[in-house]
Amino acid sequence: MCEWCMKHGAGKKWYLNAKNYSDELARELEAEAYLTEQWRNFEQVFIRKIAGFSSIGLGYKLRMPLIGRVLRWNAEKMIHSESRNRDPIRADGHFGQVIPLEDARIILSELAAEPIIENYCMCRWMQRNVKDVCCINFGVLSGVIEKLPRFVPEGMQHLDREKAMNRLTEHNEKGYVATVWFQPVPYINAICSCESPECGGLRLRKDFGLHSVYKAEYVILLDPDKCQGCKSCVTMCQFGAIRYIPSLKRVIVDYNACFGCGLCRHACIHDALKLIPREDFPGLRGMY
């Protein structure tokens, strides 16, 4: 169990605790005002100077002796902040975790607070100038996004739970990684369908090692007897965790690279891939 399950999971995974989705919690955290500020200014978060440094050239800055270590420490502190005076324009307290489709469906069917909407992805917009309707938001955040025309697709309506699950399944099967987000921790109000390198959270994690996104509670397990070496799964992996080995005539999994999203399963017609709890491999325990 990760730190956030211990703190906010009530004995379960953090994103399966109904309290973290409640309107009462949103009110207690004054989430509507917070999210309005955060979302109005979201595209500026990497441009703004925070504690004297912007994210421009972040890779170089993190490599600086001493200063780099202080920067990293400060960035992690901000990303995971539960302080009362956290700052929405820096998106303090905003981080998430990769989840497989099954867990995302549980969230959308039982836990997500209404209203549920689907809007344009903010990351693809700012990184690629692409408008892709694939972010499912809920609770207080829905009303906030409805006030920001650049994220609102034409004719956007509130989704019922069935429709939201169907949409998420479509994205997942297409190759988008499902992620669930605290913003701000411990309030949960979004399931994204992410792509790398466009996703800001995956960017910070994969390219700079910051824990803006945690790996899933699962890893993929390959049945070598069932794998026929067709390589279809390789094309689905956003993390470069599956590789075809010609001499073995099958794929192998790089467990350090696997985020446990389970997308590769959609491509496998031989039933050779399944997700197992990360904890089942002692060497991967706690490696979120």
Partner 1 sequence: MNATRIAIDYSKCGEVGKIDPRKCGKCLKICDPAVFLMHQPLHTQQDPFDPQVWRITAVWLSLCTRCMKCVNACPEKAITVSW
Contact footprint for partner 1 (CB under 8 A): 40-41, 43-44, 46-48, 55-60, 63, 125-130, 147-150, 197-198, 203, 207
**Collapsing DSSP states into helix, strand and coil, what is residue 245?**
strand
> Within 13 Å and on the Cβ side, how many CA atoms surround 195?
16
For partner 1, which is the closer residue by CB, 62 or 268?
A: 62
How near is the Cβ of 44 to partner 1 at its closest, in Å? Answer: 5
Looking at 147-199, list the stretches that DSSP marks H as alpha helix, in order from N- to C-terminal side.
161-174
Length of the chain, in residues? 288
How near is the Cβ of 130 to partner 1 at its closest, in Å? Answer: 8
For partner 1, which is the closer residue by CB, 118 or 195?
A: 195
Measured between alpha carbons, how far is residue 206 from residues 38, 125, 145 in Å?
23, 20, 27
For partner 1, which is the closer residue by CB, 129 or 247?
A: 129
How near is the Cβ of 65 to partner 1 at its closest, in Å? Answer: 15
E runs forming strands in the chain: 95-98, 116-120, 133-138, 177-182, 188-194, 213-214, 218-222, 242-245, 250-253, 273-277
How near is the Cβ of 56 to partner 1 at its closest, in Å? Answer: 5
For partner 1, which is the closer residue by CB, 207 or 271?
A: 207
For partner 1, which is the closer residue by CB, 40 or 274?
A: 40
How near is the Cβ of 288 to partner 1 at its closest, in Å? Answer: 24
60: CB partners within 8 A, 6+ apart: none
